[in-house]
């Protein structure tokens, strides 16, 4: 595990990078989108995936769009190491409190993760039809870090109920076990596919 301080657009981040398997779990907005870094960490621990999280240890949380975060050393190292990225984000859309938007450029991988979510966390709705995903949540921009690895990636936009087990924020956040199990199963499936190629 390697930690590094980086500064992006005047905001200080602490990055934590663990190089491991060919699938990479990424949480660009840990602390801003509560529970995403904790969820990525837990799934990576259970699967042996590579992990990169960003947190903001000082000052009020600032949300910098993913497309403006690509040019930093930890992300370059991460992208050079993994073949497929799974990027965890949070949405706060009150009209869809149990919908998980499954975007990103690798649509077969997106469908595989959606299948795992449907099986292991049936109380949530994973949505993979891009035309039904709000445009800002589709994760298709070529400058988005989720798409900068060899096989592209999957952007998961998770509602609050899928990121934390508590109504009020806690530190650290504790992701719901059913979501951890679902993503663990999905990542293992993707790792098996990668090994068979």
Domains and their CATH numbers in the chain: 2-196 (3.40.630.100)
| Burial (CB count <10 Å: 0-12, 13-18, 19+), residue 197 | exposed
pLDDT band of 53, cuts 50, 70, 90: very high
Query: Distance (Å, rounded) from C-alpha 188 to C-alpha 26?
Result: 16
Average pLDDT along the chain: 94
Tell me the C-alpha to C-alpha distance, in Å, between residue 129 and each of 110, 112, 115, 135, 138: 10, 13, 13, 12, 10
Read off the pLDDT of residues 135-187 as tens digits, 9 standing for 90 and up.
999 999 999 999 999 999 999 999 999 999 876 666 788 999 999 999 999 99
pLDDT over 90 at 57, yes or no: no
pLDDT over 80 at 67, yes or no: yes
pLDDT band of 196, cuts 50, 70, 90: confident
DSSP string, 28-63: TTTTTSTTHHHHHHHHHHHHT-EEEEEE--SSS---
Please identify which residue in the block is written with the tokens 């949405």.
91
Confidence (pLDDT) at 168? 62
Query: Distance (Å, rounded) from C-alpha 56 to C-alpha 33?
Result: 11
pTM of the model: 0.96
pLDDT over 70 at 124, yes or no: yes
């Amino acid at each position: 595990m390697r930690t590094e301080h980086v500064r992006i657009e005047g905001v200080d981040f602490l990055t934590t990078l663990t190089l491991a398997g060919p699938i990479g779990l990424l949480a660009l907005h840990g602390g801003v989108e509560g529970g995403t870094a904790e969820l990525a960490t837990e799934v990576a621990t259970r699967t042996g995936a590579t992990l990169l999280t960003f947190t903001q240890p000082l000052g009020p949380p600032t949300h910098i769009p993913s497309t403006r975060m690509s040019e930093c050393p930890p992300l370059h190292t991460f992208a050079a190491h993994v073949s497929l990225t799974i990027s965890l984000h949070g949405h706060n859309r009150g009209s869809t409190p149990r919908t998980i938007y499954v975007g990103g450029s690798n649509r077969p991988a997106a469908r595989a993760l959606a299948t795992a979510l449907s099986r292991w966390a049936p109380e949530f709705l994973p949505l993979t039809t891009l035309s039904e995903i709000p445009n800002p949540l589709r994760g298709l921009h070529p400058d988005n870090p989720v798409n900068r690895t060899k096989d592209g990636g999957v952007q998961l936009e998770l509602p609050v109920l899928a990121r934390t087990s508590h109504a009020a924020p806690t530190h650290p956040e504790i992701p719901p076990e059913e979501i951890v199990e679902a993503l663990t199963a999905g990542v293992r499936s993707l790792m098996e596919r990668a090994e068979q190629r």
